[in-house]
Structure 1
Amino acid sequence: MASKFTELAIDCADPVGLARFWCAVLGYEVQDEEHGLVTIGSPEVPEGRNRPGPVPPTLTFARVPEGKTVKNRLHIDVNPTDRDRDEEVRRLLDLGARHADVGQTGEESWVTLADPEGNEFCVLGTRCP
């Protein structure tokens, strides 16, 4: 038996605001909110933890007092589903993302952005409908 990836925990200053941003990015919805924690997940898999096989992971945003100070050691990659990469980048920038410089050369097939709290993530060049 192996483990199943079900949740990614993200420390932040504004769990509600960051959850709202990532809901818009991923098409997720808020599943739980209490005491400085907000959990979001796919509306299509509400009971994914209880079924065998892979499921879209939930994201849990937890309020912490310290701020982000260095480059992430772990980040999220997203694939556009209904538009090309550059159109998706424009949409995400309109939602509050910003370009992030983590040492790219300009030859990459992905674009590195940061969410409203500075957490880096990549928009990949391939579309996954």
Structure 2
Amino acid sequence: MTSRFTELVVDCHDPERLAAFWCAVLDFTVIERSESDVEIGSWEPTVEKVRDRQMPPTLLFIRVPEGKTVKNRLHLDVSPIDGSTDDEVTRLLGLGATKVDVGQGPGRSWVVLADPEGNEFCVLRTLEPPH
């Protein structure tokens, strides 16, 4: 017997806003939405596809009444694929991300940002092929 990692759930106040932000960050699309949640992903999950092999999880943003109060225990890492890390950080700041200090210290090879609701994530080294 085996399970698959199919969704990563993010509690939030405004699922539409966060889904739009993360769609722009990751080039995902909305898969499903309701009054209280929005699911986004890079593929359309079906039972057959999920059973066939492990696929990237979707992100599911669910409306909750409480706000974020402490540093996330789980966060996303993203790696730019067609530009420098600095260029990607600039793009993400333009989308509504903010820089945050979680005690990472100076001189790190990654940059810690927060999405529009304060959920931390890291921008890692670029995966752009060398020129």
Task: Give the structure-1-normalised TM-score.
Answer: 0.92
Q: Distance in 2 between matches of 1:104 and 1:71?
A: 12
Match of 1:50 in 2: 48
Aligned length: 127
Q: Distance in 1 between matches of 2:110 and 2:53?
A: 28
Instruction: For residue 106 of structure 1, report the CA deviation from its aligned partner.
Output: 1.4
Say whether residues 1:19 and 2:19 are aligned partners.
yes
Contact 1:110 1:124 in 2 (8 A): yes
Counterpart amino acid of residue 46 in structure 1: E
Contact 1:33 1:39 in 2 (8 A): yes
User: What is the root-mean-square deviation of aligned Cα atoms in Å?
Assistant: 1.5
Give unpaired runs (5+ residues) of structure 2. none
Counterpart amino acid of residue 119 in structure 1: N
Contact 2:12 2:67 in 1 (8 A): yes
Task: Kindly name which structure, 1 or 2, has the bigger radius of gyration based on alpha carbons.
Answer: 2
Q: Distance in 2 between matches of 1:49 and 1:73?
A: 30
Counterpart amino acid of residue 113 in structure 1: L
Give unpaired runs (5+ residues) of structure 1. none
Contact 2:84 2:128 in 1 (8 A): no
Instruction: For residue 128 of structure 1, report the CA deviation from its aligned partner.
Output: 6.0
Q: Deviations over 1:17-58 (max 9, x none)?
A: 00000000000001111021100011xx21365322221211
Counterpart amino acid of residue 102 in structure 1: V
Q: How does 1:72-91 map to 2 (within 5 A)?
A: 72-91=72-91
Q: Deviations over 1:58-89 (max 9, x none)?
A: 10000000000100000000010111111000
Q: 1:86 to 1:73 in 2, by over 3 A?
A: same
